Structure 1
Amino acid sequence: MVNILHIDSSPRAERSHSRELSKEFVSGWKAEHPEDAIAYRDLGHHPVPHVDEPWIAASFSPPETHTPELTEAIRISNELVDEFLAADRYVFGVPMYNFNIPSTFKAYIDQIVRPNRTFAIDPQGLRGLVEGKKAVIITSRGNDFRATSPYAAYDFQEPYLRAIFGFIGLTDIQFINANSLTEGDDARTQSLSEARAAIQDAIAQW
């Protein structure tokens, strides 16, 4: 049995393309692998807190030294990290906002990138602790940000996600990018059709 963590980050509901596509991936996977366990977290409708000063103090100090205030400050982060590490694979639905990710997803990333939990600092430097796992990241974008597009240089979404997840050791990542969603009906229909085909291929190979 494989444990999958499915996360959506769009504040939209039925109008969200990233939600629709991530749901299609998970539903398709579940149809092929009914024995697998899927946990779901909706960051768009139930955001997690941003880090604050007590969180930083708790994150960079030994748990046995924590006051009740610091214990509470890091509690949600501990829950999120435990959930993240319990999964073998991840499915993320992430719309592009202002060439990058929504603040809801950034707040989540800040909560789970933790010293001695998801990365280590040792004499050799920084080392990711999240190893042997896979992720599919399904994005929705208003414009065309493919390598051949003049907008390609503005894509800070995929490079950032590859960098931050790679930093904690998660390097086996497949991106399915639905581009051109606000460039007219024909472009949107074609892009969504291509994304759905990529989802089916990913399910078969994942």
Structure 2
Amino acid sequence: MTTLLLLDASARPFSSATHRHGSHTRRLTARFLARWRAMRPDDAVIHRDIGRDPPQPVNADWIHAAFTPPEKREPWMREALKPSDRLIDEVLVADLIVAGVPMYNFGPPAQFKAYIDNIVRVGRTFGFDRARQGEPYWPLLAEQAKTLVLFSSRGDYGYDPDGRIAAMNHVESSIRTAFGYIGITDVASVAIEYDEFGDERLMSSIAQAEQAADDLVDRLIARRSLGRAA
């Protein structure tokens, strides 16, 4: 059985498939999940709605607690890290992470940045030892064969590699960097563009992204099936 962790980071509470001003990323994550469930109904799904219920940003108490060795933590430190522990536990149990992350002012929403700051944590998802030969940092999830599927949306167009404003896209690159740092490097991404134009180009981009989401489901399920057969 596969465990999916579904992350929705849009501040818009509804999908653009059902609401005129709804979220395109929620549209894609919902489509992906529906197709996956139709093909693998017994797989477990954890849904974390970051857009509606964002994690608390990291503060001084969090930092103090996280960088204190576990055996030396006081009760208030363990309490401060409980929300982070829950988020990390979800990542650890997941085989496939599906994240809907729209572009807000060229980067991910603040809600998703808070999520990243809570799951990229010393001793839990990455290691650090200043006495270690060579690189003192290392990923702790590198051997767990996790996959990240990233769905994004953009108001303008040309943000893909070699596009007219690719250098202004800090969504996929920052998320790939953060997840790669903890050992999740198998990443696929799909995005909808032209949202602010609202014309046939947007409709075409939505159709292409939905087809890409369907194809991703088919490829990932086929890959898992081949892995089991092997």
1:156-205 deviation per Cα after TM superposition (whole angstroms, max 9, x unaligned): 11111111111111000000111122123211100000101101110111
State how 1:117-132 maps to structure 2 within 5 Å: 117-122=124-129, 123=132, 124-125=134-135, 126-131=137-142, 132=145
| 1:29-70 Cα shifts (integer Å, max 9, x gaps) | 111111110000101101110011111011111122111221
Query: Do the aligned partners of 1:93 and 1:139 also contact (CA within 8 Å) in 2?
Result: yes
Percent of paired sites with the same residue = 39
1:93 touches 1:138 (CA, 8 Å); kept in 2? yes
Which residue matches 1:138?
A: 151
What are the ranges of 5 or more consecutive residues in structure 1 without an aligned counterpart?
none
TM, length-normalised to structure 2: 0.87
Given that 1:181 and 1:191 are in contact with CA atoms closer than 8 Å, whether structure 2 keeps it comes out as: no
Instruction: Say which is worse superposed, 117-126 or 2-11, in terms of deviation.
Output: 117-126
**Runs of 4 or more consecutive aligned structure 1 residues displaced over 6 Å after TM superposition:** none
Matches within 5 A, 1:1-206: 1-14=1-14, 15-122=22-129, 123=132, 124-125=134-135, 126-131=137-142, 132-144=145-157, 145-206=159-220
Count of residue correspondences: 206
Gap runs ≥5 in structure 2? 15-21, 221-230
Structural RMSD (CA): 1.1
- What secondary structure sits across from 2:65 in the alignment? helix
Is the partner of 1:111 in helix, strand or coil? helix
Q: Deviations over 1:60-116 (max 9, x none)?
A: 111221112211111111111111111111000000001010000000000000111
Partner Cα distance (2:37, 2:198) in 1: 33
Cα pair 1:139 1:176 within 8 Å, conserved? yes
Aligned to 2:101, what secondary structure does the other structure show? strand
Distance in 2 separating the partners of 1:180 and 1:171: 28
Give the AA of the match of 1:135.
Answer: L
**Are the counterparts in 2 of residues 2 and 37 from structure 1 also a CA contact under 8 Å?**
yes
Post-superposition offset of 1:148: 4.2
Q: Distance in 2 between matches of 1:3 and 1:100?
A: 28
| Aligned AA (1:149) | G
